[in-house]
Amino acid sequence: MIKHVVAWDFKEAGKQENIQKLKGLLEKLPALIPEIKSYEIGVNIKDSEIAKDMVLIFAFADEASLQRYSDHPEHQRVVAELRKVSQKTVVVDFEVA
């Protein structure tokens, strides 16, 4: 199994509205992309200069499934929206034994 973890810093302009909008878009992806086996999406609740604003954790059966998700048009549509409102993205993909 592969875990795909992504965290974002959002731009200040319209920050809370954009976080909620993108959270909603991300939550729709599992119904549209069958490769997503499980998911969690969280919005930061603690004010800290090192904290990210939002995180997602998706699980995939294997690297091929992660790649199909990455290439999927619905995923690409959400990525385009995220790029408009985020200023930094951090990604970690790792294998779960």
Measured between alpha carbons, how far is 64 from 73 in angstroms, rounded to an integer?
16
Q: Which of 8, 3, 13 is nearest to 79 (CA)?
A: 8
Q: How far is CA 9 from CA 3, 26, 48, 56, 75, in A?
A: 20, 16, 12, 13, 19
Does the structure show a pLDDT above 90 at 25? yes
pLDDT at residue 97, rounded to an integer: 85
pTM (two decimals): 0.92
Q: Taking residues 29-48, what's their average pLDDT? A: 96
**Domain annotation for the chain: domains and CATH numbers:** 2-95 (3.30.70.100)
Does the structure show a pLDDT above 90 at 83? yes
Q: Which of 43, 30, 32, 31 is nearest to 4 (CA)?
A: 30
pLDDT at residue 60, rounded to an integer: 98
Average pLDDT, the chain: 97
Q: Each residue of 50-81: pLDDT tens digit?
A: 999 999 999 999 999 999 999 999 999 999 99
